[in-house]
Structure 1
């Protein structure tokens, strides 16, 4: 099988690997980069467990080949925490509201939620539901996850004195 050199900015670090043409992005992240926080669920793009941010947008990494990411930027759940390992405001909110049980969907939920919070710190219920619509959780019933997103938005607004509309303005 033909192989290609691929350079992807993953969580702020450029990584170059030689990969087979049919290697999925989720397998690239897990096997080539050692980032196992992105979970392999259905491998058909249905469950959302493999959600990552690709150039700032949430995508299901099981539906994308690694060669398609050449020259692009990817953020995984490992990239949400600070350089010191401190959890992000969103991750803290998930813990505080018990928005995870078995944990299998959590990384995908976090990445979808973070993409929403990157756009607005005042998400409506409809925006939250839309942001999570490609992700499945069979344990929580979504209520604690929605509460976590609202709490994170509230905490981020409070940290900025209530005057920002997006996380990017906070530079966190």
Structure 2
């Protein structure tokens, strides 16, 4: 259940808000000598200010590949190459784009909640199986199911808290 929350936070890190973060380009892979390679493995990525990401490939031949990969990605970012460094300026989000991002965040949140509920269901099925095999009593099964429900409620609450914080961050101008 805790992995669902961790996974959600990783997904949220990739969601674009008005701020620059190196996590935005974590999932982008460049074709480097015929191999799809994460940009973070072929360049140093820095965030000098809240609106700019700079990428400095270690190999000069990597500039074109990195630029091409960023343009092909669905991030909607335009890299500027000056021969030494690639700069990406994060534009301010429009109201419409902010609302779309909130919808995407809610979808990620719902997926995480479904994962938590699936863990609950699997655990309850195991408990029922153990009761049938006479490994635990009916009272123990019911008590364990209550504990599992409390854990489920706790993790769903944490997911809601993470989601509302991300929505607030997205809608912030």
Shorter chain as normaliser: what TM range?
under 0.3
Q: Give the TM-score normalised by structure 2.
A: 0.24
Q: Whose relative contact order is higher, 1 or 2, with alpha carbons under 8 Å and at least 6 apart?
A: 2
Structure (1 or 2) with the greater helix fraction = 2
Instruction: Please identify the structure whose Cα radius of gyration is greater.
Output: 2
